[in-house]
Amino acid sequence: MIVPVSARNLAEEYKHSSTAVRTQYDGKEITVRGYVGVAAVMPQVGSDQGSIQLADRELQSDRRVVCWFSKEQREIFSQVKGAQYITVRGVFNGESGADLKFCKLVGVE
C-alpha cells in the first residue's frame, strides 16, 4: 500500500526549499492527499486541462498543491464537489510551484 504525501507537508517543504523537493520528486509519480475547499475547475472549450487545489483544511494559506488533469478525466473529477478530502496520483513538476501533472483521482472522502 502506498502512503500518500500530505498536500500541506509537500507545499510547506516546497516553500522552504523548492530545490530539495524538486530533487526528491521532479518527474516522479506520487500520491498526494489533501483538502479541497471548492469543486475542481473543469477544462473549458478549447482547453486540454482542468485543475484542483489541495491544501490543509485548518490553515488558510497560500501553500497549496495544484493538481492538473486532462479533459479525459473530467467526468471523474466532477465527483469532487468541495469541502472534502481527496487523494490523487500525478507526476510532480516543481517548475512554477508544487504542481502535479497527469492527475488521476484515487479517492474521495
Per-residue pLDDT of the chain (109 residues; tens, 9 = 90+): 578 999 999 999 999 999 999 999 999 999 999 999 899 999 888 889 999 999 887 766 667 899 999 999 999 999 999 999 999 999 999 999 999 999 999 999 9
Which regions of 37-96 does DSSP assign to beta strands (E)? 49-54, 65-70, 84-93
Cα torsion 88, 89, 91, 92: sign: positive
Tell me yes or no: is domain 5-108 CATH 2.40.50.140: yes
- H-state helical runs in the chain: 7-16, 18-25, 74-77
Domain ranges of the chain: 5-108
Question: pTM to 2 decimals?
Answer: 0.91
